Structure 1
Amino acid sequence: MFWRSMSTFGQPSVIDTLLDRSGVSLELLLDEDDLQQEVRAPNARLLEFLRRPECAEALLRYACLPLAPATPDAAAAALRRSKYPQAACEVLCADAESLLLAVASSPALLRLLMTAPEAWPAGRGSPRHVPSGVPPAAGGGPALAIRWSRIVSSLLLRCGRELIGWLEGNRGLLEALVPRLGLTPVAEALVQLVGADEASSASMPPHALAWVAHTSLLPSLLALLASDDPPTQQHENAAEVLGAIARARAPAR
């Protein structure tokens, strides 16, 4: 087949061999260390498989949602907790436009992604810097936030109009991110979603995000900062988001 990924010796890749199996599972593919490389190649058969709604949904669930209780099989449970979430994130962030478009074109998948923070465990820890090449631990709010933020950024880069267009019709989801601003990756993603970072403001015309001013996001941020609660990372990040919005909306001199 013309789309088959071949090794140096002209043999099918491990990924293609798996895809030849009847009933191959996403988990079998996530086990393979060269999966991301095959996505980037791109391996058309692999992308066709990953674009299936059930596979795209599973990738998002692995990357962005807390894992279900461990299975009785200890080895399988260890893989699910240590490898699959990060592998799923790397696949979704591998610049495969057709895969990202499959997500951006599905209201159900976009809702799954954008409501994922509501399911994260409570916690205020927020890593600001992650060493290059060192993935965060699979579980916990900070790790989930990092992966979620990366996927949102990838979608904005490749399918920004689709994502922003959907958010315009689901405006309450921006405000719903405010309780998670104690996690810095969420704050960074929110700045991008409202077009207040340099990359987003350059790629989106000003009128494309005019609707943000008519949401409850700004009042929610101001109410948080006006509260009598002791200052936390959430307050600091909320102030950063407001500052970014103000700078982005300031008239040019």
Structure 2
Amino acid sequence: MFWRMAGLSTASPVETILDKENFTLEELLDEDDIIQECKALNGRLINFLRERAQVEQLIQYIVVEAPEDAEKRRTFKFPFVACEIFTCEVDIILKTLVEDEELMNLLFSFLEPKDSHSTLLAGYFSKVVICLLLRKTVPLMHYIKAHQEIMARLVDLIGITSIMEVLIRLIGADEHMYTNFTESMQWIEDTNVLEMIVDKFSSSDSPEVHANAAETLCSITRSAPPALAAKISSPNFIGRLFRHALENSRPKSVLVNSLSICISLLDPKRLTLGTYYMFNRQLTHGSTVTVNPETVEGMLGRLGDLLKLLDVSSEESSLLTTYGKLQPPLGKHRLKIVEFISVLLTVGSEAAEKELIRHGAVRRILDLFFEYPYNNFLHHHVENIILSCLECKNAPLIEHLLHECNLVGKILEAEKNFTLKDSNKPTVPAEGRLPPRIGNIGHLTRISNKLIQLGNNNSEIHAYLQENSEWNDWQINVLSKRNTLENIYQWACGRPTALHDRGRDSDDDDYQNRDYDVAALANNLSQAFRYGIYSNDDVDEAQGSLERDDEVRLVYIFYA
């Protein structure tokens, strides 16, 4: 706010309007200074806006779509200013709204199924409701409790992201809200809101609905009230989720987003709606996440049906790339299954490990690692799976990986045939070009080094490696030389040398311990360009800045 000093300030246009004998709300809304005057708590303006007639008109602008022939200020400016007036959080204006049931009915009439729900007005509606939820929590929750059809209508519109945000706060997936207003929000635990949300996977074909339903349920797994958290992790609820996910007629987005919920249940701190891109193994293998055994058992019931999808592919689908052709592409759904298995192994459930061995899941996933040598997302998940198996306390799982899955043999085979060749594999090299080098050699190097490291402390791994003469020769003649060559502390070309201090400062530690969600970043960037936030010049500038950033290593990652 700007301080007014006598003789140094001119009258605000808002004051000029208020000095008139007859003026309208539209005249005030058309002035650019009105929001600033509300924040400055202009007494004359607040006393006018607090009147029921004015509050009703402000709500009308927010919830009623403007006619097609309306002026632009009615379509765009008035709804925006009306929303901003409410979100200035002037208590006396909000009180007028929440204490009048007819006004509240008008506000929530936006959710009526027969009405159109424009994204623009949905954003304004959600901002006003969230403001009331934060500042007038008790009266708002009492109103919604008396009109519980509002919850069902919010779920029906969950495909609109701003409506989803209202729903997340209402169900208590907000630690601040639930902690401070437990009694007012406890009634939601007795509703069937979770069932309504998960059933959207069956009743809607929209990917946006599936993604928002998954995000809502993932938010509940992280910070929901205890009763809702217990319900969502129950075997019955998980069984319901898997039934929707594994329906043959459903879009693949149902499977992908259902597995995101399962991943969040296994590891609530994990950001499930993207793919982790981790530097230097950020997940600490050997340590397990505490999960209710009943939750894991509920997921194991349909594990066999889920793993069958790793083999289901269509030869008709193909994807052209710079290095050749993928026929078929891996697909987001198979990548998500591999990520789910990766997280499931970190739980340390012996029952889950037995099921994975019985279904040959690790063997099939290892085959995918070599069938798609340029899918870096897949490689990171498979590396996590291999390290989880090697570091687990279950000897049969280690034996299964080394003997039945033939991990070492496949590593040596890939090292001998390190270029992409014509074969029956899904990745086919481009015609008329020299076959490129496969893209997972770096992951194979890290896995090999981990095998040697663990062999020093595990007699079974050590004995297995010693019995393989080809491995010993490759370790001495290839791996050791590669490790020496790739040791950046021995480089003398501007990089840290062996004589320099290898310790890191706090910023470096933070960088090493940070999880980079490359998929989410890429999605956000694509969304920004889709909506025209950046121009072509911005694209070139962004590309240049990325090339100058030494910390970020950009690789060509094919999402196929």
Give the TM-score taking structure 2 as reference length.
0.38
CA-to-aligned-CA distance 1:120-178 (integer Å, 9 cap, x gap): 536xxxxxxxxxxxxxxxxxx11111111111111112111111111111111111111
Paired position in structure 1 for 2:89: 95
Paired position in structure 2 for 1:219: 195
Structure 1, unmatched stretches of 5+, are 72-76, 123-140
Q: Pick the aligned partner of 1:245 from 220, 224, 230.
A: 220
Which protein, 1 or 2, shows the higher relative CO under an 8 Å CA cutoff with sep ≥ 6? 1
Give the 3-state SS of the residue equivalent to 1:177 in structure 2: helix
Partners of 1:210 and 1:69 lie apart in 2 by 43
Residues 16 and 196 of structure 1, relative CA distance in 2, 3 Å threshold: same
AA matched with 2:212: N
Partners of 2:217 and 2:5 lie apart in 1 by 51
Partners of 1:7 and 1:81 lie apart in 2 by 37
Quick check: 1:86 aligned with 2:80?
yes
Partners of 2:115 and 2:174 lie apart in 1 by 25
Quick check: 1:19 aligned with 2:15?
no
Q: How many aligned positions are there?
A: 224
Residues 23 and 70 of structure 1, relative CA distance in 2, 3 Å threshold: farther
Cα offset, 1:17, TM superposition: 2.3
Cα offset, 1:217, TM superposition: 2.4
CA-to-aligned-CA distance 1:84-118 (integer Å, 9 cap, x gap): 11111111111212111111111111122122133
Quick check: 1:59 aligned with 2:58?
yes
Paired position in structure 1 for 2:209: 234
Alignment map for 1:3-42 (pairs within 5 Å): 9=7, 12-42=11-41
AA matched with 1:234: V
Larger radius of gyration: 2
Partners of 1:27 and 1:144 lie apart in 2 by 18
Partners of 2:66 and 2:206 lie apart in 1 by 31
Give the TM-score taking structure 1 as reference length.
0.79
Tell me whether 17-26 or 88-97 shows the greater mean CA deviation.
17-26
Paired position in structure 2 for 1:45: 44
Partners of 1:185 and 1:8 lie apart in 2 by 44
Q: Is the 8 A contact 1:172 1:215 kept in 2?
A: no
AA matched with 1:233: E
Q: Is the 8 A contact 1:175 1:216 kept in 2?
A: no
Tell me whether 57-66 or 33-42 shows the greater mean CA deviation.
57-66
Paired position in structure 2 for 1:128: none
Tell me whether 167-176 or 26-35 shows the greater mean CA deviation.
167-176
Tell me whether 238-247 or 59-68 shows the greater mean CA deviation.
238-247
Q: Is the 8 A contact 1:149 1:188 kept in 2?
A: yes
Cα offset, 1:6, TM superposition: 5.7
Partners of 2:170 and 2:22 lie apart in 1 by 38
Cα offset, 1:68, TM superposition: 3.1
Partners of 1:26 and 1:89 lie apart in 2 by 14
Give the 3-state SS of the residue equivalent to 1:17 in structure 2: helix
Quick check: 1:116 aligned with 2:107?
no
Partners of 2:80 and 2:157 lie apart in 1 by 21
Moved over 6 A (4+): none
Partners of 1:198 and 1:234 lie apart in 2 by 24
AA matched with 1:215: T
RMSD: 2.4
AA matched with 2:52: P
Structure 2, unmatched stretches of 5+, are 230-289, 291-560
Partners of 1:82 and 1:96 lie apart in 2 by 23
Residues 24 and 211 of structure 1, relative CA distance in 2, 3 Å threshold: same
Residues 7 and 181 of structure 1, relative CA distance in 2, 3 Å threshold: farther
Q: Is the 8 A contact 1:117 1:145 kept in 2?
A: no
AA matched with 1:24: F
Give the 3-state SS of the residue equivalent to 2:136 in structure 1: helix
Paired position in structure 2 for 1:171: 148
Paired position in structure 2 for 1:181: 158
Partners of 1:63 and 1:31 lie apart in 2 by 15
Paired position in structure 2 for 1:137: none
